[in-house]
Structure 1
């Protein structure tokens, strides 16, 4: 892609970002639907205040994730003719990373809540901790390690 102009590169990068968000959004929608449906069940009405608070936290993290992960698509739609693709990419990348953090938090809280209801508070801590560790490693630490590995290879 050496003959690619800056405008073409920005257009391609925005397209790649929006495609990545389509993949993430499916997971957010499934989680959000599950969390909304749970509220209307009889067992939820009998849940403890702590369990209801955890559920609300998961819902709020899912709402934040939805807003953050959809923002770059909305910005692109509003600004696509204004020549601001560079800004959409620069700010959008940061917003998406925060959105992924909120999504990881929402899933972690949801899985922890399920473990609490089914097996108790110790399971909640263990399962929630493992989920958080998994997301942290795969979504945030591994990319840094891969980038460092590439830099080391490029130096040789």
Structure 2
């Protein structure tokens, strides 16, 4: 295979990041919207202090995840055609990692919140913990197991 140039690698990395952002932004924005609508439900006033504090933390986390997911596009617009794409790609990668970490917390917390309301506090903590462990296993542990068996996709070699 023909070696890809540095510019081709950067363009490919940017395209891959954009595709990942498209997938994650949709889910993040749907979750954020869901959380925002809960405050307008008739049973919202029945939340205890713990549930209310958790809810507000989840809304703040979901808003943060949304901001982190939109930031790479904003950066790209701000520095369009200024020769900054290599730095934008690096920063966008970091922002996407932060978004995924924040999203993992919000997902686990949302499961905990819902189970707490429906089945009680203990079951809520258990369900949130199981969700967090599942995310760690699927998002972190599984890729770590594959890391040693896959070629470096970012090498200067073609795909």
**When the two structures are superposed, what TM-score results if normalisation uses the length of structure 2?**
0.89
- Cα-Cα RMSD: 1.4
Q: Following the alignment from structure 2 to structure 1, what is the Cα–Cα distance between the partners of residues 144 and 39?
A: 38
Q: 1:125: which partner in 2? A: 125
Q: Following the alignment from structure 1 to structure 2, what is the Cα–Cα distance between the partners of residues 148 and 117?
A: 43
Cα shift at 1:4: 2.7
Residue correspondences, number: 151
Could you give the per-residue CA deviations for residues 75-96 of structure 1, whole angstroms, max 9, x where no partner exists?
Answer: 1122131111111121221221
Q: 2:115: which partner in 1? A: 115
Q: Following the alignment from structure 2 to structure 1, what is the Cα–Cα distance between the partners of residues 17 and 124?
A: 34
Which blocks of at least 5 consecutive residues in structure 2 are unaligned? Answer: 152-159
Q: Following the alignment from structure 1 to structure 2, what is the Cα–Cα distance between the partners of residues 20 and 13?
A: 11
Q: Following the alignment from structure 2 to structure 1, what is the Cα–Cα distance between the partners of residues 76 and 12?
A: 13
Could you give the per-residue CA deviations for residues 85-132 of structure 1, whole angstroms, max 9, x where no partner exists?
Answer: 111121221221111010111111111000000111111111000110
Q: Find out whether 1:67 has 2:67 as its counterpart.
A: yes
Q: How does 1:90-109 map to 2 (within 5 A)?
A: 90-109=90-109
Cα shift at 1:5: 2.0
Q: Following the alignment from structure 2 to structure 1, what is the Cα–Cα distance between the partners of residues 61 and 149?
A: 32
- Superposition misfits of 4+ residues, deviation over 4 angstroms: none
Partner SS state of residue 150, structure 1: coil
Higher helix share: 1
Which blocks of at least 5 consecutive residues in structure 1 are unaligned? Answer: 152-156
Cα shift at 1:150: 3.0
Q: Following the alignment from structure 1 to structure 2, what is the Cα–Cα distance between the partners of residues 141 and 86?
A: 28
